[in-house]
Amino acid sequence: MCKILAKVVAQLLFDNSYLNLKENGIYYDLNTLLEDFVYNGNASVMLTYTPEQKVAEHNAAIRFIDYYKNTRKSVFLDDTAFTKIISNIISYTAWQEYYTQNYTMADSLINRLIAYNVANDEDFYLKIKLMKILYDRERYLAYAPVFINAALENQVIGIYNLYSEKALLLFELKQYRQAKDTFKEYYEIIKSNPNEAKNQKWARQMMYKCDLFMDN
């Protein structure tokens, strides 16, 4: 109960109208959900999360509870400090929005992390994926290099697919030599992983394709 309520409160930090919690496809607005918990004591509202998401949700709720216990007497924080404290929750919710195809909301959440300089490589990776959906080709090619380089410079998670994204972007920009070098770097990272056989083959093919373009 306490963890679910913590999750509800956490959502309020960046969305005052609707919670990203649903049952049978119905989104609950704040007042309805809080009244259900506070006045009726109803814990029947179940979240449609995968097992992995439930673990992440549980950890986020625990962090929120611990933070509240330690800081409830100092509730006035500026936007920068507040965003730093809730950055993990914002990031997690952005991915939730992405997977439910709420791309504009996901982009808004990630932009907040970027604006306050608390985005890590996973956040920038999501930004790149969203740009492919929300931007036209010309705008994507103009802005993607900034975010890809920022992701590689702020690695926390270690997302090797960033190298394939960078290589594809360089290829699209007709910078074939740099693209080949980056495809090779990507291949070196995944070559010992038996689960990446398909991508290993693809990376080799793209290196060969870069050679063909450089010869012309």
Q: Encode pLDDT of 7-31 as tens digits.
A: 444 444 444 333 344 433 433 344 4
How many whole angstroms separate alpha carbon 108 and alpha carbon 124? 13
Residue 61 forms part of a structural domain: no
Residue 196 forms part of a structural domain: yes
Neighbours of 172 (CB within 10 A): 13
Residue 165 forms part of a structural domain: yes
Q: Enumerate residues 6+ apart whose C-beta is below 8 A from 157.
A: 120, 121, 122
Burial of 34 (0-12, 13-18, 19+ CB in 10 A): middle
CA distances 186 to 63, 160, 211, Å, are 35, 7, 16
For 30-80, how does the pLDDT look when each residue is reduced to its tens digit (9 = 90+)?
444 444 444 444 443 344 455 666 666 666 666 665 665 565 554 556 778
Instruction: Give me the pLDDT at residue 158, please.
Output: 76
Instruction: Give me the pLDDT at residue 5, please.
Output: 45
The closest alpha carbon to 86, from 125, 120, 60, belongs to 60
Indicate if the pLDDT at residue 178 is higher than 80: yes
Whole-structure pTM over 0.85, yes or no? no
Which is more confidently placed, 161 or 65? 161
Residue 164 forms part of a structural domain: yes
Enclosing domain of residue 203: 160-216
Burial of 180 (0-12, 13-18, 19+ CB in 10 A): buried
Residue 40 forms part of a structural domain: no
| Structural domains of the chain, count | 1
